[in-house]
Chains A and B, each alone.
Chain A
């Protein structure tokens, strides 16, 4: 059974810093991995999707990497801003879509102004 772990559980940094969020998964047989953002009391917004054949994806100040063989992914946020404060969730697709995504518990990020 796929398990997804995210470290750290919480992170607080001053504005402007670059930071890295970590995600690990137990079964490397995945179709893709996604990073989501969740604001308090809100739904999930997809940030980046990395296919199993890819090594990284970039969107603006966000860069996600994937090392499938070691079961790891990182989300790099450059020049953090207070608006980046949210919970970031990592999720893997192990079943090609029909089985749903397996989520980590998330990293609660606070960017101090």
Chain B
């Protein structure tokens, strides 16, 4: 069974610090996503990425966030200056192509900002 892998599984960081969350999508997938889930709340879409550029982004994905696919396998989410309210589980997901294919989520990276 193919899987999306994410690292780290858990990170604690001080407010104002930069954080990079890493994801390895499934190898033949073309569309990549980041979602987040604040404890007790809904899973929320952050950004979609295709062909080495952002396809869409939500209101949450402000200038503090950026994504990159640096080497053809990793897909990263960077938060430049973390805030307390950035504490959440961040999920990476990938899909082979749009139009109704199964989306695969990673196990998540739990970010705690203190």
Binding site for B on A (CB under 8 A): 4, 31-32, 34, 36, 41-46, 49, 51, 89, 91, 95-106
Contacts of A36 in B (CB 8 A): 105
List residues of chain B with CB within 8 A of the CB of A98: 31, 48, 50, 55-56, 98
Contact indicator A97/B99 (Cβ below 8 Å): yes
Interface pair A105/B41, CB less than 8 Å apart: yes
Chain B interface SS verdict (over half) = strand
The minimal Cβ–Cβ distance linking A16 to chain B, given in whole angstroms, is 29
Q: Which residues of B contact A97 (CB under 8 A)?
A: 31, 48, 95, 98-99
Residues in A whose Cβ lies below 8 Å from that of B104: 46
A43 with B55, Cβ < 8 A, contacts A31-B100, A49-B100 known: no
**Known A-B contacts A100-B58, A104-B42, A105-B42; A44 and B48 likewise in contact (beta carbons under 8 Å):** no
Distance in Å: Cβ of A2 to nearest Cβ of chain B: 11
A52 to chain B, nearest CB (A): 9
Closest chain B CB from A65 CB (angstroms): 17
Q: Which of B1-24 contact A (CB under 8 A)?
A: 4
Q: Known: A43-B105, A44-B91. Contact between A100 and B45, CB under 8 A?
A: yes
- Option from A41, A42, A96, A100 in Cβ contact (under 8 Å) with B35: A100
Chain A residue contacts of B107, Cβ below 8 A: 42-43
Nearest 6 pairs between A and B by C-beta?
A: A100-B45, A97-B98, A103-B43, A43-B105, A44-B105, A98-B55
- Asked if B106 is at the interface of the complex by the 8 Å CB criterion, the answer is yes
State whether B98 touches A43 (Cβ < 8 A): no
- Residue among B56, B103, B105 making CB contact with A95, cutoff 8 Å: B56
Measured CB to CB, the closest approach of chain B to A37, in angstroms, equals: 11
Residue of A nearest to B44 (CB): A103
Given contacts A42-B107, A43-B107, A44-B91, contact A99 B102 (CB under 8 A): no
- Interface pairs (15), CB distance under 8 Å: A31-B100, A34-B103, A42-B108, A43-B91, A43-B106, A44-B91, A44-B105, A46-B105, A91-B43, A97-B99, A98-B31, A100-B35, A100-B45, A103-B44, A106-B42
